[in-house]
Amino acid sequence: MEELCNLKYEEVQVGQEVPTFSHKFDRMDAIIYAGAGGDFNPIHVNPYFAKEVAMLPDVIAHGLFNMALLGKTVMDWIGDPGYLRKLSCQFRAPVIPEETVLFKGRIRDKLENNLVVLEVWAEKQDGTVVLKDGEATVYLP
């Protein structure tokens, strides 16, 4: 198991990048997330519906699944006892099975009370932006 970083507020600097997290999406991700989130929209779990009715290339990942992986990226970087206070982003492109998404971030600002603001985003390996205009606010001890 990978050890968490346990970052401290004084150790981070504006412009510092968050380690990139990579995830290859597969159909099982969509099925598991549908069960966890209660979103069984057929564009996420039924390949026939996604292709023939919705005219998509295949089932697509839930937008909130990708957002959750963006949050995981930040949390894996800051470690315990830091915590995520806010996470927001815009969903921009679908992700289909076998596509790999890279989740990224960079420190934009350091605020009072040990708060750090990050710009966060996700993109496919070909550069297509999946999540954009993201912001995460974290507390670091």
Confidence band, pLDDT 50/70/90 cuts, at residue 5: low
- Which residues, other chains included, contact 129 with Cβ-Cβ below 8 Å and sequence gap of 6+? 92, 93, 121, 122, 123
User: In this predicted model, which residue has the larger pLDDT, 7 or 123?
Assistant: 123
Could you tell me where the DSSP H helices lie in 63-127? 63-78
Phi and psi based region of residue 113 (left: phi greater than 0; alpha: psi -120 to 50; beta: remaining): left
DSSP three-state, residue 136 = strand
What would the mean pLDDT of 81-92 be, rounded to a whole number?
96
Q: How far apart are CA 140 and CA 78, in angstroms?
A: 7
Percentage helix, strand, coil for the chain under 3-state DSSP, each rounded to 5: 30, 35, 35
* Per-residue pLDDT at 6: 81
Domains within the chain, CATH numbers bracketed: 10-139 (3.10.129.10)
Largest CA distance in the chain: 54
